[in-house]
């Protein structure tokens, strides 16, 4: 018999752009995750056929990262 799952297919769009200086002493990264703000389940468990206990993935996130190298 076929296997049934409650986890839907999904397409997540992430992006990051990094600039590093010529000596690679520092970097700056702009990043975005789940840029389409897709709502998706990462797990789901049926509880006695009464309800589903579901966990959802992270919503859209964006930010800036700075990094330095110490030699």
Reported confidence tier of residue 1, pLDDT bands at 50, 70, 90: very low
pTM score of the predicted model: 0.69
Chain-centroid distance of CA 43 in Å reads 15
Task: Evaluate whether 63 touches 34 at the Cβ level (below 8 Å).
Answer: no
What is the separation, in whole angstroms, between the first and last Cα of the chain?
Answer: 61
53: left (phi over 0), alpha (psi -120 to 50) or beta: beta
Give the model's pLDDT for residue 67.
97
Residue-wise pLDDT for 7-55, tens only, equals 678 899 999 999 999 999 999 999 999 999 999 988 888 888 788 888 9
Measured at the alpha carbon of residue 11, what is the angle toward residues 67 and 36, in degrees to the nearest 5?
A: 65
Return d(Cα 22, Cα 39) in angstroms, integer.
Answer: 40
pLDDT at site 6: 59
Q: Say what the pLDDT of residue 53 is.
A: 84
Question: Is residue 4's pLDDT more than 70?
Answer: no
């Amino acid at each position: 018999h076929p296997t049934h799952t409650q986890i839907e297919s999904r397409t997540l769009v992430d992006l990051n752009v990094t600039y590093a200086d010529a000596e690679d002493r520092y970097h700056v990264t702009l990043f975005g995750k789940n840029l389409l703000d897709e709502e998706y389940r990462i797990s789901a468990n049926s509880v006695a056929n009464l309800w589903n206990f579901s966990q959802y993935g992270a919503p859209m996130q964006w930010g800036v990262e700075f990094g330095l190298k110490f030699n």
